[in-house]
Amino acid sequence: MNWVQVLFNSCVTGSLYLISAVALTLVYGLCRFPNFAHAEFMAFGAYMGYFVAEQLGLGFPFSFIVAFLASGALGVLSYKGVFQPLAKRGATIIHQMIASIALGFIVRHSIGEIWGWAPLSFRVVWTSFDVGMMRVTGIWLWLILAALATGVIMHLMLVKTKIGKAMRATSSNPELALSSGINIDRVALTTWFIGAALAGVAGLFRAAGTRLSPLLGWDILLPTFAVTILGGIGSFYGAIAAAFIIGLVENV
């Protein structure tokens, strides 16, 4: 067995799960329910990236910006249109979870109606090259860099910025955060935007290395939940460590 290649592939897999799991963990930490629509946020980002890169012909790099912003906007709309009203009506975790499944169904079938159910592929050809005993593909290097950037930026945001500290306080104790003058609604909107936006980026990376389909997000959702649980539900730093553990287990 080529352990160098195994370790590199594990880093690639772990990087994908890291971005997806950080996104899921942020939302869970605030709302305390498993968001099954996370899979469709990933698929939506991938298809928006495909629309920009292939149908508009604007190139693959620009598609990441659009996937990030479009999925983030979908997350905000989901919170304002579905989950916030349910929370105000006293919905339980089960109600919120079922609502996320229903939302995912709507988004998934909307994607299928717009782009069709047949698999699609990006036309871009990724450069592959050998580094010692490793076979490296360009897109996977970008994925590892994106995961590293995600971890660093999110750490700095949560530790150094006012909104990041507000997110941590709200996740830890919403009632105390509210009594301290923290704008809970603003924190929730920011959390949902970032969570859905990162999910969209994860979905686009997945699609770039394989193919697109409306069910694309479900290929990543189960491992993402595994990472979230292994790392400690709601734990940002635990999710980072668990992502690479799961990535290694999958590739050994």
Global pTM value: 0.94
Residue 147 lies in a domain: no
pLDDT per residue over 167-192, tens digit each? 989 888 888 888 888 899 999 999 99
pLDDT of residue 234: 74
Work out the pLDDT band at 63, boundaries 50, 70, 90.
very high
Residue 85, in any domain of the structure? yes
Structural domain including 110 reads: 22-123+183-221
Reported as a pLDDT band with limits 50, 70 and 90, residue 136 is confident
Write the CB contacts of 207 (distance below 8 Å, at least 6 apart in sequence): 46, 49, 50, 122, 216
Residue 110 falls inside a structural domain: yes
pLDDT tens track for 84-117: 999 999 999 999 999 999 999 999 999 999 999 9
Distance between CA atoms of 206 and 208, rounded to whole angstroms? 5
Is 245 among the domain residues? no
Q: How many domains does the chain have?
A: 1
Domain membership of residue 94 (yes or no) is yes
| Residue 104 maps to a domain | yes
Q: Report yes or no: 158 and 165 within 8 Å, Cβ to Cβ.
A: yes
On the question of pLDDT at 125 being above 80, the answer is no
**242 domain residue, yes or no:** no
For residue 234, tell me if it sits in a domain: no
State percent of the chain over pLDDT 90. Answer: 72
